[in-house]
Amino acid sequence: MPRGLKSVPEFALKANFYRPSTYKGETAYQASFEAKIIFNYMQIKDILLGEGYKSLEDLSAYLIRERLGLMWDNPIFAFSNIYGEEFEFLVYQDRISVWDHHGSVSIGVFPRTSTGVREMLAASEEYTHGLIRCSECGDKMLKTDTAGRYFAGSYCKRCWETDWIDENGREHKNVRDIEAHENYE
């Protein structure tokens, strides 16, 4: 069976929102768009602290796969803060990881508790105001003062120079890890 929906409404086909593709005599309609599930800042707390967080995958399967016919392995969940800026998030083992709307800058990892969710929303508001927390020490800094980036992490000058640059000024994955490894050998 080809990926996509078995049928789509006439208007959606006419509008090119879906395109038919046939494979071994079976036709499926593939979406011309992607989708993201975005929760409002007023509801995200109740969803994360109630039972809702357990059903995010089910919601994705129902809306994204069954209704929209989109197929990808990583459902994209987001919430919007009071300023309307969107942040992607994932819940794993009672920890909430949050990124900017591209999923490329880490905003932080927060415990799935009342305080944690409050912190998460506060960090997202600070981000809109141009502040970010260092991925290592958690100190707030201006985004423009980020001394170094590694994957989605942003590091303050102190942490970057302590842990990520060796005495010859070379940037490393993590100088402390390398030193520990060298001492072990």
| Minimum distance of Zn ion from residue 70's CB (angstroms) | 38
Paired residues of 92 in beta bridges: 95
Closer Cβ to Zn ion, 95 or 157, answer by number:
157
Query: CA-CA distance, 119 to 64, in Å (whole number)?
Result: 29
Q: Amino acid identity of 52? A: G
Query: CA-CA distance, 185 to 14, in Å (whole number)?
Result: 66
| Contact string 63-102 vs Zn ion (x = CB under 5 A) | ----------------------------------------
Query: CA-CA distance, 127 to 120, in Å (whole number)?
Result: 11
Enter the DSSP assignment of 168: T
| Minimum distance of Zn ion from residue 134's CB (angstroms) | 3
Chain positions 117 to 156 lying near Zn ion, rule: CB under 5 A, are 134, 136-137, 156
DSSP 137-162: T--EEEGGG--EEETTEEE-HHHHHH
Closer Cβ to Zn ion, 89 or 160, answer by number:
160
Binding residues for Zn ion, how many (CB under 5 A)? 5
Q: Rule CB under 5 A: is residue 31 a binding residue for Zn ion?
A: no
Closer Cβ to Zn ion, 120 or 159, answer by number:
159
Query: CA-CA distance, 107 to 99, in Å (whole number)?
Result: 5
Q: Rule CB under 5 A: is residue 159 a binding residue for Zn ion?
A: yes
Binding residues for Zn ion, rule: CB under 5 A, are 134, 136-137, 156, 159
